[in-house]
Amino acid sequence: MTLPLTGIRVVEIAQNLAGPVAGEILGTLGADVVKIERPEGDDARRWGPPFWNGTSPGFLAVNANKRSITVDLKDRESVRWLTDFIGEADILVQNLRPGSLEELGLGAHALIARYPRLIYCSVWGFGRFGPLKMRPAYEPIVQAFSGLMMMNGDDDTSPRRIGTSVLDFGTGTWTALGALAALVRRAETGRGGVVDTSLLETGLAWQKAHFASFRVSGQVPERHRTGAHRVVPFQGFETRTGPIIIAAGNDRLFVKLAGVLGHPGWPADERFATNAARVTNAPALLAAIGEILLTRSKGEWIDLLEAAGVPCAPINTLPLAVSEPQAVASGMIQAVPGDDYELMGLPIAFDGVRPPIRLAPPRAGEHNAEILGPQKGEP
């Protein structure tokens, strides 16, 4: 297949996660992504154990479909070469310490002035403006600061970090989306521009439903382990052999659920007749449902609920999740060319075909000779 971004050049001056996620998305969509690393390589290469051939899984996960060169940004000649090289690019993605590229003459305003067609994407911790704009940040710092961490867990536990880097991955995705939108605009105007994203803005955006509820009610949204307080029952429950989740998202589905659970009279009970009534009387209803579900295995309940048309699922571990026939059929898990491991592909397909992993995550400076010339030598 011809990938949508074939012919687009991306320079990635980014490390750790959010910036590299953006580069990986653009590279998997067909762009030629050249990753600029310090001579010692991206810090994320050392985020382990475990390691695969000396490289951490955290690095491998977000750096496929790229070429890597090492550049010493403390060397003037190297910076001069990089400045010229960026002039050949369509998109620049950077997430270095705020202000560091400006000190080298590689800030957004300087490069856009020199290369008007360049799309300059900056990934910030706290944003381009505001009193914290110069503060660097990592995922757990911004999960806490944005309020996202306080929404995770339940009212009887301390705040919990979400168990994956939702802000890094989300911000990388927004960055790629912004770059694509800027490419469309450039096709019409002939000019590039600046795309700014940040972990904080992503953390705030992920709470848009909670924010809308807060603005309407004036009440701080309650924390909930597996579901939502605004819809009942809409959460996880234990069974005799493990947990499942049930999502009776409307009154019609609650009628079906009540039938499966052997209580067809519940929908006529004024305490449970509407979702609003069920929210008000949630403790009694959820306790009753919980007792009933402990009488059978999760497989039995899944079969009964699915037969009745009630949305439900087992609460899987990662090994179970990726071995589910549906996950296998999705084609999300892709072999890495030339190596004996697999990575997750992009959750998008074109004409029924998922963009493939074409290039294994590179060694630091693997493409020095190819891009910089033989005088630089191999890493």
Give the three-class secondary structure for 379. Answer: coil
User: What pLDDT score does 379 carry?
Assistant: 43
Residue 235's Cβ-side half-sphere holds a number of Cα atoms within 13 Å equal to 23
Contact 49, 60 (CB under 8 A): no
Bridge-based pairing of strands 242-247 and 312-314 is antiparallel
Residue 4: Cβ-neighbour burial (10 angstroms; 0-12, 13-18, 19+): middle
Domains and CATH numbers, the chain: 9-206+329-376 (3.40.50.10540), 234-314 (3.30.1540.10)
The per-residue DSSP string of 29-69 comes to TT-EEEEEE-TT--GGGG--SS-BTTB-HHHHTT--S-EEE
**pTM of the full structure:** 0.90
Q: Provide the CA 98 distance to its chain's centre, in angstroms.
A: 22
Which residues are tagged catalytic?
A: 168
Q: Torsions phi, psi of 336, nearest 5?
A: -90, 125
> Alpha carbon of 157 to those of 145, 150, 168, 230: distances in Å?
18, 10, 25, 20
pLDDT by residue (tens digit) across 107-166? 999 999 999 999 999 999 999 999 988 888 899 999 999 988 888 877 677 788 888 999
Distance in angstroms (rounded) separating the CA atoms of residues 7 and 15: 24
Which of 25-39, 143-157, 309-323 tops mean pLDDT?
25-39
- Phi/psi of residue 67, nearest 5 degrees: -110, 150
Cα 305 to chain centroid, rounded: 31
Residue 376 binned pLDDT confidence (cut-offs 50, 70, 90): low
Average pLDDT in the 262-291 region? 96
